[in-house]
Amino acid sequence: MRDVEQRDMKRQQTVKQGAQRNGRAIPRRRDHLERHARWVLPLPAVLFIVVMMLFPVIYTVKNSLTDMNLTSGAATSFVGLANYGALLRDTRFVSSVWRTCYFTALAVGVEVVLGVSIALVLHRESRGKNLVNAIFLLPMMATPVAIAMVWLLMYEPTIGVANFVLQSFHLPAGLWLAGSGSVIPSLALVDIWEWTPMVTLIVLAGLSNLPSDVYEASRVDGASPWQQLWRITLPLLRPTIVVAGLLRFIDGFKTFDIIYTMTGGGPNYASETLNMYIYEQAFNYYNFGYASSMLVVFFALIIGITLFITYVRKTWEV
């Protein structure tokens, strides 16, 4: 006990001596900083996140409670939840939400199935595998607007290659982007072409991390390759697939570039997704208050669906 006390005193003395080294005392502030280094050091990063990420969100929520409009010429006033009430009565808004879900489900569903299948094929050891990998990743690297322009030409009903292909198989020509019913599947096809490689890439990474001993054991037990796929590979890959799907869902829900470039939301709002409608309200009609309320709903939808998927994944341990 005494020993400990003595040692403590000795240490304090040393600290004191150290603090007064060169005849100068360490300023108290510096001492304070050193003691709270674990709070001080991450502070710039925390401030950055607050300013760059949290502030816009708070500002949007604040705007969504006002009638901010650049064309009215009047001062902005607080309107409470009136914008949110108006949203429920706005048929253009409600249909744009459904349209966004339809587009996302269609695109992401196909991307996941296709992406996993391609990854399973590419995972096998074969000659020229790297070359094939590189080619598969090309669509992901291209600029979305450039992709949209090329697909726009391909979809052109009179001179486009899409109808040429259909007709050479004696199928009826389609309207593609010009048809109210076909415009969303046509846009989803572009998204699928562009983003399936990303799912493939993630799943390939997951595949290379699977333990090989499980496969060896199953082979000893006489499992067929088909059984291996359904009983081992896919269950083990499930977390990876869920993550890939989740990432694609968030991105797909927010798709703007290809729709803006290819149809502008037309014909007659048939491809106007939530993001397109928000853009229209904010930058063409200048209804910033109303557009902000839609953004808040949009944000809540994405967070809600993401949390739901994560919850399901944890609860059912998929």
Partner 1 sequence: MSVFRSLRTLQSTAALALCILPVLAGCGSASKPVNSAKPYAGTTIRVLFANHPWTDAVKPLLAHFQQQTGITVKAETYGETQLSQKLTVEFVSGNSDVDVFMNRPLQDGQLFQKNGWYTDLKPYVTDSAKTPADYDFSDFSAKAVSTTTIKGKLTAIPVVVEHEVLYYRKDLLQKAGLQVPKTLDELQKDAVLLNAPGDHYGFIARGMQAAAVTQFSSYLYSEGGDWFDPATKKATLTTPQALAAFNLYGKLLHDSGPPGVVNMNWPQAVAVFAQGKAALYTDADSIYNNVLDPGKSRVATETGIAPFPAGPNGSVPYAVVPWSLSMSATAPHKGAAWEFIKWVTSKSITRAIQGGSAVPEARTSVYKDPAGVAKFPADFVATAQAEANGKSFDRPYIVQVVQARDIIGTVIVASIQGQDVTAAADKANTQFQALLDKEP
Extract the tokens encoding 55: 């502030």
Distances (CA, A) of 205 to 110, 225, 261: 20, 20, 33
Cβ proximity of 196 and 109 under 8 Å: no
Report how far residue 131's alpha carbon sits from residue 54's, in angstroms, rounded to the nearest whole number: 43
Minimum Å gap between C-beta 60 and partner 1 is 17
- Kindly state whether residue 70 participates in binding partner 1, applying the rule CB under 8 A: yes
Binders of partner 1: how many residues, by CB under 8 A?
24
Residues 237-266 that bind partner 1 (CB under 8 A): 263-264, 266
Task: Build a one-symbol-per-residue string for 17-46: x at contacts with partner 1 by CB under 8 A, - elsewhere.
Answer: ------------------------------
Give me the helices (H) in 156-263, please: 161-168, 183-208, 212-220, 225-227, 234-253, 257-262
Least distance to partner 1, CB of residue 96, Å = 13
Taking residues 165 to 194 in sequence order and writing x for each that binds partner 1 by CB under 8 A, - otherwise, the string is --------x-xxxx-x--------------
Task: Determine, following the binding rule CB under 8 A, whether residue 77 of this chain makes contact with partner 1.
Answer: no
Six token digits for residue 174:
């389609």
Minimum CB separation of residue 8 from partner 1 in Å reads 57
Q: Which residues pair with 66 in a beta bridge?
A: 78
Dihedral angle of Cα 227, 233, 238, 243, to the nearest 10 degrees: -150
The least distance separating partner 1 from the CB of residue 180, rounded to whole angstroms, comes to 7
Residues β-bridged to residue 78: 66
Per-residue x/- track, 261-290, partner 1 (CB under 8 A):
--xx-xxxx----------x--xxxx----
> What is the smallest separation between the CB atom of 284 and partner 1, expressed in angstroms?
5
Half-sphere exposure of residue 316: CA atoms within 13 angstroms, side-chain side:
11
What is the binding site for partner 1 (CB under 8 A)?
A: 70-71, 73, 155-158, 173, 175-178, 180, 263-264, 266-269, 280, 283-286
